[in-house]
Amino acid sequence: MSCQVSKSDVEAALKVLNFAIYHKELTEMEEREQERERELDRKRKADHDENDGPDRGPKDRRGPKDKRG
């Protein structure tokens, strides 16, 4: 077996490695984005549940009471 490596083999190997690195980084970015979206969904749901939950009681949306006298 020859110990020499041709320039074209090195270039091909570099292309494969560069693609593998690119693919790995892209996959990691997509996973982080999905996790951010899941976290935002959890926060939105928690905010919604907090604002409309049954344990808060009725909301008085009429504003301050008139002081007529």
Cα–Cα distance measured from residue 20 to residue 13, given in angstroms and rounded to the nearest whole number? 11
pLDDT above 60 (res 57): no
Flag whether the pTM goes above 0.85: no
Query: How many whole angstroms from its chain centre is CA 42?
Result: 11
Model pLDDT for residues 24-53, shown as the tens digit of each residue: 999 999 999 999 999 999 999 998 888 775
